[in-house]
Amino acid sequence: MKPTDISNPDYFHKVVDCQWACPAHTPVPEYIRLIAAGRYDDAYMVNWKSNVFPGILGRTCDRPCEPACRRGRVEEGNVEMRKPTAHEDGPKAEPVAICRLKRVAADNKDDVAARMPKAPKQKNGKRIACIGGGPASLTVARDLAPLGYDITIYESDPKAGGFMRSQVPRFRLPEAVIDEEVGYITGIGNITMRTGQRVDSLKKIIAEGYDAVFVGTGAPRGRDLDVPGRAEAVKNVHLGIDWLASVSFGHIDKIGKKVIVLGGGNTAMDCCRSAKRLGGEDVKVIVRSGYEEMKASPWEKEDAIEEGIPILNFMVPKSCTVKDGKLTGMTFEKVKAEYDAKGRRNLVPTGEPEQFVECDDVLVAIGQENAFPWIERDAGLEFDKWNMPVVDKITFQSTHPKVFFGGDAAFGPKNIIWAVAHGHEVAVSIDKMMNNEDLQDRPLPAVAVVSQKMGIHEWSYDNDVSASLRHKVPWQDQKLTLKNIKVEVELGFDAKAGLAEAQRCLNCDVQTVFAPRLCIECDACVDICPMDCITFTPNGEEADVRKRLTAPSLHADQDIYASEPLRMTGRIMAKDEDVCLHCGLCAERCPTGAWDMQKYLVQMTHAGPGCRKPQRKAA
Amino acid sequence: MTYLAKPKLHHPSLSKNQAGYTRRDYEGKISTLCAGCGHDSISASIIQACWELDIQPHRVAKLSGIGCSSKTPDYFLGNSHGFNSVHGRMPSVLTGANLANRDLLYLGVSGDGDSASIGLGQFAHCMRRGVNMVYIVENNGVYGLTKGQFSATADKGSKSKRGVVNSDEPLDMIGMALLLGATYVARSFSGDKKQLVPLIKGAIEHKGAAFIDVVSPCIAFNNHAGSTKSYEYVRQHNEAVNRLDFIEDHEEITADYAPGETVTVHQHDGSALRLKKIASDYDATDRVKVMNYLQEHGARGEVITGLLYIDPDSEDLHEHINTVDTPLNQLGAKDLCPGTPALEKINASLR
């Protein structure tokens, strides 16, 4: 193996699994430590810088960080026999509740308005249009407005927020949180909101002479159901996302007693739980696939079941039955999954009789797609064979140099955190373009490496690893939540539970940095390491070294940190990063300081001077 | 020294042995020795050996005297019996315990000060009596607890940390153990667990006095240039005569050294040890040849390691004095004190 190049910012970034998995690369352990220290304002601001909507994301994020979290791997084989306390989940190996900790910071902070950036008095003379007022557009605006750009946001709804406001139900995300966090952005200044104004022509916008146009219009078209009887049942079959938006804006406040929700994604989960609150007494989710293959996040499925909503699997809708102009039910075909030689799934009828399910209303949440009826095909943008605009994966620029895409509008439906990540990249692209720089030339993230050593056994982080299981988020009484759609279900962690959950974080950003020249191969680190991560062994190919580790390598995608050959024996130090607790005991037991715990803070490059080529100025 | 306890979390793949324990279950308290102390590696080797042999922790008694080495029984086998005796008196206490309960596994852990100075007489008699035990000397050549004076095993000519040259002849504990009739004699190095763990396993399985001298560098006072007990010196001068490869009825020990000729030593109790020869002219069962070999090679400054001597027909103290098979502490008052007629019978036989 070649010695690991730890000067490459990506190497240690990857060790911070959560941050690596987060599309916006939020420095998760950094803000979790701040929460543990009770510094909620600071924790909030660390979040705000990276992901713009900590309060919103702390309730609704798709949390790609959590499946990646090292804690989940570390607890494997350790906690299954534990008896959980009343506040703990499990007993099973679970990641840190990163998402809900984000909310702890947002809920407990003081007024942070004064810490928000302000637009400079001197504008830079560049005008940017953002079409759509969702997370992607708002992120572009937040990144560019403080630099002196003049931003105009067009939003068809009466208030900005996009998906977060129109589709996420209020029992998951209260209006006040959206208002607050959208307010921080509009409060920067230099941002003109044109709400209630639907853009119907890109050409018109371009003609207004903007220096750049950002399209962040989401994936606004719900896929419809195409079965016999659908047309006759038009009054009682609703498109999920449109229905949710109508509920959000108060246009719809009731639904029939018997409701079928079609679809297995998160929108379906929001639909069924909303229906349950608007008068639906018998609400069912009916899905073509099996439970496991459903697209909804596991916790959203669990939350729906918790509220008494059954999920019926392997049922394909066949027809709607309408009597006297009113929907009476739907017929389904029973199917089963069969896998062909290539592992592809086919749903084949089981041959059982078709099943009729009574209902008054149907909510269709079987997918959504991008739609750009308002972009003229001669506006100067190329469209691909699926009739989608061609967008560069790195710069997010379309084939029209002034037009950029981001969020769901760029590459199809994803989620809020991806929209934010796109927004940051678009802002970088626009800022570089306005400074006549190459958009493809993206600077690496800024990295700060600082030893955490304070004394022989003292570190500037808490290295005592907590043994506690994941904490349960307390829920509001169902008697209240199921009656009123505006009552938030989750109460969030209180300060005490927040602290205890924060302590489960393993501080993966505090890296074990090895200095081979100082090592005397005394084995102290090997002996103390609770997870048997460290091995001293003759060098070889990586696959071969992996076979000779102190403890078997369980995940080949987790790196082996290899040193150069050591002075005395010529062996190498090979550390399996996989289940390291970052407890620092290797460094505490090292007699020569060959191991050190160093905080490796990776900050992504945002728009501003940092993303541009360094300009030398004479002293 | 570390203030935090070692986290209880362990590697997901950590497995249980046939006794139902993981390796971590054989650990003790967190070590308070200096960071990098060779003794901690020996503790780790003992833990590994006991786990691999499926030993029931409550069937082990670990005994020690005074010194850095004698502190270590606190850092392994936290669920075993322990006795921290007076300085240098561990062998007597161990002998007594062994006589009272022959069923336990006796692990004597001592250092060069505890065994080669104040306890030299105790060490000698314990060896010559053939007490069934594993006697490990954690040998660093200095008095670490009193700031690094030479101990009795420091080599003549080696330099102290302050630059003083040792003018005294070293005490050769391996040589003494051989002379005094130890039936399993080995030397190893704390920095070479692949060698040390099998040697400890062999010693545990051996019936009779098993002695292992483990060179264990003192990071604080004896790991400098001019020392003959430093990591660097021992690594440069370590000459292994063989590798203990296999103990019958147990898993094969896989180690990453070159293959060589193997010799199988069948022991009296039916068990067998497989030794991989490294020095071709070395015969570990011939006491006199072994002593000559060690003298010759020691004179060249080599640190000879490996299983140096094994007596396949070993006997232990209980056989020597013909005690009953039942441990004395399990005999009832009637057996222990058979009464006046029995005493008279014995007295009559002596008249």
> How close, in Å, is residue A520 to chain B by CA atoms?
7
Q: Which amino acid is residue A169, in one-letter code?
A: P
CB atoms within 10 A of CB B335: 11
Q: A198 with A158: CB under 8 angstroms? A: no
The answer to whether B40 contacts chain A (CB < 8 Å) is: yes
Query: A331-345, A352-366, A418-432: which range is least confident on average?
Result: A331-345
For A524, which residue in chain B has the nearest alpha carbon? Answer: B36
Q: Which amino acid is residue B254, in one-letter code?
A: T
Strands (E), A19-178: 127-131, 150-155
Do B7 and A581 make contact, defined as CB atoms within 8 angstroms?
yes
Q: Which pLDDT band, with edges at 50, 70 and 90, does A105 fall under?
A: very high
Per-residue pLDDT in tens (0 to 9) along chain B, 351 residues: 567 889 999 999 999 999 999 999 999 999 999 999 999 999 999 999 999 999 999 999 999 999 999 999 999 999 999 999 999 999 999 999 999 999 999 999 999 999 999 999 999 999 999 999 999 999 999 999 999 999 999 999 999 999 999 999 999 999 999 999 999 999 999 999 999 999 999 999 999 999 999 999 999 999 999 999 999 999 999 999 888 876 655 555 454 555 567 778 877 777 777 888 788 788 899 999 999 999 999 888 889 999 999 998 999 999 999 999 999 999 999 998 999 999 999 999 999
What Å distances lie between residue B84 and A61, A254, B56, B212, CA to CA? 58, 78, 21, 19
The continuous run of DSSP H or E covering A308 comes out as none
Phi (first) and psi of residue A498, to 5 degrees? -60, -45
Residues 6 or more apart in contact with residue A327 via CB below 8 angstroms: A233, A235, A236, A237, A320, A321, A359, A360, A361, A362
pLDDT score recorded for residue B322? 94
The answer to whether B16 contacts chain A (CB < 8 Å) is: no
Do A524 and B14 make contact, defined as CB atoms within 8 angstroms?
no
Which residues in chain A are contacts of B235 at CB distance < 8 A?
A: 521, 568-569
Distance CA A574, CA A560 (A): 6
pLDDT digits (tens, 9 = 90+) for A271-310: 999 999 999 999 999 999 999 999 999 999 999 999 999 9
Q: At what angle do helices B38-52 and B193-205 cross, to 10 degrees?
A: 50
Structure ipTM: 0.91
CB atoms within 10 A of CB A85: 12
Q: Which pLDDT band, with edges at 50, 70 and 90, does A368 fall under?
A: confident
CB atoms within 10 A of CB B56: 13
Chain A: residues touching B (Cβ < 8 Å): 73-78, 456-457, 463-465, 467, 520-524, 526-528, 530-533, 537-538, 548, 551-552, 554, 568-569, 579, 581, 583, 585, 588-592
> How close, in Å, is residue B238 to chain A by CA atoms?
12
Distance CA A395, CA A391 (A): 8
Q: Which of B2, B4, B11 to mutate to test the interface with A (most CBs of A within 10 A)?
A: B11
Distance CA B306, CA B260 (A): 14
Distance CA A54, CA A28 (A): 12
CB atoms within 10 A of CB A491: 12
Distance CA A476, CA A483 (A): 12
Q: Which pLDDT band, with edges at 50, 70 and 90, does A619 fall under?
A: low
> How close, in Å, is residue A559 to chain B by CA atoms?
16
Predicted confidence (pLDDT) at residue A103 exceeds the cutoff of 80 = yes
Residues 6 or more apart in contact with residue B338 via CB below 8 angstroms: none
Mean pLDDT (whole number) for A71-88? 90
Q: A415 with A242: CB under 8 angstroms? A: no
Do B36 and A524 make contact, defined as CB atoms within 8 angstroms?
yes
Distance CA A135, CA B249 (A): 67
Q: Which of B9, B29, B39 to mutate to test the interface with A (most CBs of A within 10 A)?
A: B9
Q: Which amino acid is residue A415, in one-letter code?
A: N
Q: Sort A200 into a burial class: Cβ within 10 Å, 0-12 / 13-18 / 19+.
A: exposed
For B219, which residue in chain A has the nearest alpha carbon? Answer: A591
Do A527 and B41 make contact, defined as CB atoms within 8 angstroms?
yes
Mean pLDDT (whole number) for A63-89? 92
Q: At what angle do helices A98-108 and A495-502 cross, to 10 degrees?
A: 140
- Among A528, A568, A579, select the one facing B11 at the smallest CB separation: A579
pLDDT score recorded for residue B247? 65
> How close, in Å, is residue B228 to chain A by CA atoms?
15
The answer to whether B43 contacts chain A (CB < 8 Å) is: yes
Distance CA A550, CA B196 (A): 16
pLDDT score recorded for residue B91? 97
Distance CA A178, CA A191 (A): 17
Q: What is the largest CA-CA distance in chain A?
A: 90
Q: At what angle do helices A240-248 and A266-277 cross, to 10 degrees?
A: 50
Distance CA B67, CA A222 (A): 77
pLDDT score recorded for residue A188? 96
Q: Which pLDDT band, with edges at 50, 70 and 90, does A91 fall under?
A: confident
Distance CA A67, CA A18 (A): 8
CB atoms within 10 A of CB B272: 13
Which residues in chain A are contacts of B36 at CB distance < 8 A?
A: 520, 522, 524, 589-592
The answer to whether B266 contacts chain A (CB < 8 Å) is: no
Q: Sort A338 into a burial class: Cβ within 10 Å, 0-12 / 13-18 / 19+.
A: exposed
Distance CA A108, CA A42 (A): 11
Which residues in chain B are contacts of A552 at CB distance < 8 A?
A: 13
Do A78 and B9 make contact, defined as CB atoms within 8 angstroms?
yes
Q: A572 with A609: CB under 8 angstroms? A: no
Predicted confidence (pLDDT) at residue A127 exceeds the cutoff of 90 = yes
Query: What letters, b where the CB count within 10 A reaches 16 and e where it falls short, cover B138-155?
Result: bbbbbbbeeebebbbbbb
pLDDT digits (tens, 9 = 90+) for A579-592: 999 999 999 999 99
Residues 6 or more apart in contact with residue A181 via CB below 8 angstroms: A52, A53, A54, A55, A56
Do B44 and A523 make contact, defined as CB atoms within 8 angstroms?
yes
Predicted confidence (pLDDT) at residue A617 exceeds the cutoff of 80 = no
Q: Which fold has domain A116-220+370-434?
A: FAD/NAD(P)-binding domain (3.50.50)
Q: A419 with A407: CB under 8 angstroms? A: yes
**What ranges do the domains of chain A cover?**
116-220+370-434, 222-366
pLDDT score recorded for residue A142? 97
Residues 6 or more apart in contact with residue A503 via CB below 8 angstroms: A36, A462, A466, A468
Q: B72 with B31: CB under 8 angstroms? A: yes
Residues 6 or more apart in contact with residue A539 via CB below 8 angstroms: A1, A545, A562, A565, A570, A571, A572
Distance CA A415, CA A285 (A): 22
Give the closest residue to A132 by CA, choosing from A371, A339, A448: A371
Q: Which fold has domain A222-366?
A: FAD/NAD(P)-binding domain (3.50.50)
- Among B11, B37, B256, select the one facing A532 at the smallest CB separation: B11
Q: Which pLDDT band, with edges at 50, 70 and 90, does A40 fall under?
A: very high
Distance CA A563, CA A540 (A): 12
CB atoms within 10 A of CB A358: 13
Phi (first) and psi of residue B335, to 5 degrees? -75, -40
pTM: 0.91
Which residues in chain B are contacts of A527 at CB distance < 8 A?
A: 40-41, 43-44
pLDDT score recorded for residue B164? 94
Which residues in chain B are contacts of A591 at CB distance < 8 A?
A: 34-36, 219
Q: Is residue B75 left, alpha or beta, with left meaning phi > 0 and alpha meaning psi from -120 to 50?
A: alpha
Report whether the peptide linkage leading into residue B12 is cis, meaning its omega lies within 30 degrees of zero. Answer: no
The pairing of beta strand A237-239 with beta strand B142-143: unpaired
Which residues in chain A are contacts of B4 at CB distance < 8 A?
A: 457, 463-464, 583, 585, 588
Give the closest residue to B117 by CA, choosing from B142, B84, B92: B142
pLDDT digits (tens, 9 = 90+) for A373-405: 999 999 999 999 888 999 999 999 999 999 999
- Among B3, B13, B232, select the one facing A554 at the smallest CB separation: B13
pLDDT score recorded for residue B277? 79
Mean pLDDT (whole number) for A130-147? 97
Task: Tell me the residues of chain B between 222 and 261 that have a Cβ less than 8 Å away from chain A.
Answer: 223, 231-232, 235, 256
> ∠A392-A395-A398 over CA atoms, to 5°?
45
The continuous run of DSSP H or E covering A356 comes out as strand A355-358
For B5, which residue in chain A has the nearest alpha carbon? Answer: A464
Tell me the domains of chain B and their CATH numbers: 23-330 (3.40.50.970)
Q: Which pLDDT band, with edges at 50, 70 and 90, does A59 fall under?
A: very high
Dihedral sign for Cα atoms in the order A579, A523, B53, B239: positive
Location of structure tokens 């007022």: A133
The continuous run of DSSP H or E covering A440 comes out as none
